[in-house]
Amino acid sequence: MLKVSKVLEKVFKKPITTSKVKVSKAGTTKARTSTKEDGQFFENKACQYLKQQGLTLKARNVSFASGEIDLIMQDKTHLVFVEVRFRQHNKYGGAAASVDLRKQTKLIKTAQLYLQKQYGNQPPSCRFDVIAIEGNKQQFEVDWIKNAIS
C-alpha cells in the first residue's frame, strides 16, 4: 500500500481557495424527503457545478471498507477526490466544518485504496476538495473548497 505522504504530497502544496454561488428555484414547493434522497440531490448538484467549472466526472460513490468518496473528478492534470456535504443551516458550524479529522482520515484511506487499485505504483497528482452546500432544495449556496484537506 502507498504511504499517504507519498501519494498526496503534491496535494498539500497549493493554498485553499473557495468560490461561492447562490442558486434558487422559483415556484417550487417543499416536499419532505429522506436524508439519502437529499444527499443524492445535492451530490448531483455538486457534480453539475463542478462540470460547469470544467472538471470531468471519473467515478461516483466509490466505496471500500474504509469509507466512501462521493465524486472523483479530473481537473486538467489533477485527480480530485470530492466530499459533498449538505447542511440546512450553519448552526453547528455548517457543512464545511462537518468534514472533521475522522472524516478526513477515512477519505485519505479510501483514496489510497482507489489509487492503488486504479493506478498501482504510478498515481497521478491529486487533491481533496469539499463542496459544502447550505440551504434547501429551493435555495442553496455552494462553497467549493479546493485543497481542503492538508
pLDDT digits (tens, 9 = 90+) for 47-94: 999 999 999 999 999 999 999 999 999 999 999 999 999 998 877 888
Separation of alpha carbons 123 and 5, rounded Å: 13
Cell of 24: 434558487
Separation of alpha carbons 30 and 39, rounded Å: 16
> In this structure, what is the dihedral angle of CA atoms 121, 124, 127, 133, given to the nearest 10 degrees?
-110
Mean pLDDT of the chain: 83
Stated pTM of the model: 0.77
Cell of 135: 440551504
